[in-house]
Chains A and B, each alone.
Chain A
Amino acid sequence: KAGVTQTPRYLIKTRGQQVTLSCSPISGHRSVSWYQQTPGQGLQFLFEYFSETQRNKGNFPGRFSGRQFSNSRSEMNVSTLELGDSALYLCASSFPPREIPDTQYFGPGTRLTVL
């Protein structure tokens, strides 16, 4: 099976702009989670989508939003970018038969730089 794919891999934006990142999960996986990774803060959970519904949410401001489509593909949007949003954004998919998170299969990430 193909792994989790994320596009774009690299992105440079300026403050105040908005950005949309895309994630295609492993075929058959219905759960998609997003994480922000920075050197100082480690892996921070943004949100999880399951069957097009946001199931869990981390402690990020409303500028961070996401959605999931019927084919399980997911997008993440960040509006009004700030310098502190520069990070590696990781998407992970899982195949949870239960209602709790399962093994996370990570994509390669999108490296976002905000100037």
Chain B
Amino acid sequence: GQQVMQIPQYQHVQEGEDFTTYCNSSTTLSNIQWYKQRPGGHPVFLIQLVKSGEVKKQKRLTFQFGEAKKNSSLHITATQTTDVGTYFCAGISHNTDKLIFGTGTRLQVFP
């Protein structure tokens, strides 16, 4: 079945360093969503990308949707301790119209 994998699974960075998580789908996606889950919390929607090659920015966060609409990335510039959490991508399969969550990347930021 369809899979959405994220790498890395874990990432520890020093505060101020950059961070990137990659999301790869086995099938073409209609769109890609990104969520953040703080420790002990629930996933919170960050952004949605729809167009091939689309790039969106939210302050220090940059989101990209691949040209083939099978992968995406989230890049955080100059991480802060408030960025700690698990980042999930979620894509809607072009074939099945089902929303599939990625495996998540847990980010730890050391002050």
Give the interface of A toward B (CB within 8 A): 33, 35, 42-43, 45, 56, 59, 90, 92, 99-101, 103-109
Contacts and interface: CB of A to CB of B under 8 A. Distances in A.
B91 to A, nearest CB: 10
Q: What secondary structure prevails in chain B residues at the interface with A?
A: strand
B16 to A, nearest CB: 29
A104 B99 contact: yes
B104 interface: yes
Interface string B80-111: 00000000101010000111111110000000
Interface string B1-21: 100000000000000000000
Give the size range of B's interface with the partner. 20 to 34
Nearest to B1: A59
Interface of B: 1, 30, 33, 35, 41-45, 48, 88, 90, 92, 97-104
A107 B43 CA distance: 9
Contact of A100 (B30, B42, B45, B88): B30
Given A43-B104, A109-B42, A104 B35 contact: yes
